[in-house]
Every structure is written in structure tokens, then in C-alpha cells.
Chain A
Amino acid sequence: MTFILFPVNKGAKITLSVIVSIMFVAVLILFYRFDPEAELLFPKCPFLLFTGYECPGCGSQRAIHSLLHFKIGAAWRYNAFMVLVVPYLFLGIYLEYFDRRKRHSRLKSLFFGRWSAMTIFIVIIVYWVLRNLN
């Protein structure tokens, strides 16, 4: 498992990145084509099923579906945190895999350092509480 997830030589790295890209595009097509609200095959949140309260990730599948159809408002209502965090995640992926010469190391230490990690932790907890209040 660790050998697949953390490849050492260059060939394994290229293979892994090709597999991950294909799976990413396939998942995007799946979420564009099918509505998670209507299809039963999309997994439901176990926390919501058993407690009746929404977790911070609840609604992210519907939010992805809405974002792919450029319905930002609907996505915001399904999961606002998801909408906010998508550009941030793309920044993280860019800095880790496409910024080979480390030209943006200051950006990385600003957005993926200690203060950002603590901020995101607090934001997730606050969002978790707030979305269950009303």
C-alpha cells in the first residue's frame, strides 16, 4: 500500500499521476452527469444518518454537482465551506505538484503553514456548529 501511495522512482510516479488524473476526470464526469440528490448510488453521510445533524462535509457532493453546472448559489446553500475551499485546494495541488522550482515557497508558507492550519481547524468547527443551529 505504501509502495503504491508513495512511489520512489520516476516511472512509478508517472504511472501514479496518470492513474490519479484519469480517476479525477472520471469522478468529475460522474458528478456532472448524475445528480447526487436523485441517485441512490451516491454514498450518504453516516454521521447525518445516525445523528440527524449535518457534518462539515454534508452536501459537498451536491455542491460539486452544482459547481460543475456553474450554479454557485445552489452550491453555496448545499455546502458553503466546500465552495470556499475549492480554490484553496487547487492552490495546494499546484504548489505541491506543479511548482517544481519552488518559486512560490512564500505563498506556501503563508497559506499552508501553522496559522492557516489552525484557522481552518477553527473554521471547520465553527461551521459545523453554525450549520446545525437553525
Chain B
Amino acid sequence: MEDQYFTPPPVPEQKAEAVEEIPPLKPNNWLWQSIVVTLCCCVPFGIAGIVYAAKVDVLYFNGRYTEAEAAARSARRWTLAAFIIGIIAAVLWITVMSTGNMPQYMEKIIENNASGYNF
């Protein structure tokens, strides 16, 4: 007869739900780093980084955490790719200009198109 009044406590189920509701930390969105590389290194890749930075926060605040993580990884990848390309381009430019081995067509382009302009 006592079994009728016995109700199992629902505590563990509630705990499990509570654990699921805790959101993970917001992944770093690499926003200012991608702005730096947009200005200084490689414009298209830097802009891709900014777009993914916007995506990270939008997805995170809509509760799509795994997709936000993926977007954060993409943002990091684009930003680092732009940074590395910028470094390589600068090193190439400096070696070419300091050794005086600049190809003829490059000199022509600079004379015709970009006299007075520097990056």
C-alpha cells in the first residue's frame, strides 16, 4: 500500500536539463585582428575574416554553438592566411627592391599607373 504514495524524486532529470542549458564560452571572433590584416596585409582574406567574425556572434547568440565554433575556426584561418600572405609579400617586395632584380613590366606598371602612390 505504501508503494502508491511513493513517487521517485525527479531531481536527477532536472539536473541533467540544467547541465544542458549552460552555454559554452563564446569563441573568440578575431574581429580586430582581421581589421588589422585588412588594413596592412591582404584585403580579400581580411574581409572574409570580418564576415566570419560577424557570423560567430550571430550564431552564438542564436544558440547554435557548434556552428559558432566552426565559424570562429574559419575566422582564425582567414585572418592567419591573410597575415602570412602579407608577410610573404612584404619580404618578397623588400628583397626584390633591395637587390634591384625587379622585372621590367613591374617597373612599367609603377611608372604608368601608380606614380606618387604608395601602399
Contacts and interface: CB of A to CB of B under 8 A. Distances in A.
Contact of B35 (A52, A79, A89): A89
Interface in A83-114: 85, 88-89, 92-93, 96, 112-114
Interface majority SS on B: helix, strand, loop or mixed? helix
B51 A121 contact: yes
Interface residues of B, number: 33
Interface of A: 5, 36-37, 40-50, 52, 54-62, 79, 81-82, 85, 88-89, 92-93, 96, 112-114, 116-118, 120-121, 124-125
Interface of B: 29, 31-32, 35-36, 38-40, 43, 47, 50-51, 53-54, 57-58, 61, 80, 89-90, 93-94, 97-98, 106, 109-110, 113-114, 116-119
30 contacts: A36-B119, A37-B116, A37-B118, A40-B97, A41-B93, A41-B94, A43-B119, A44-B114, A44-B119, A46-B89, A48-B117, A50-B109, A52-B114, A56-B39, A60-B39, A60-B119, A61-B118, A62-B118, A79-B39, A81-B39, A85-B35, A89-B32, A112-B29, A112-B31, A114-B54, A114-B58, A117-B29, A117-B54, A118-B54, A121-B47
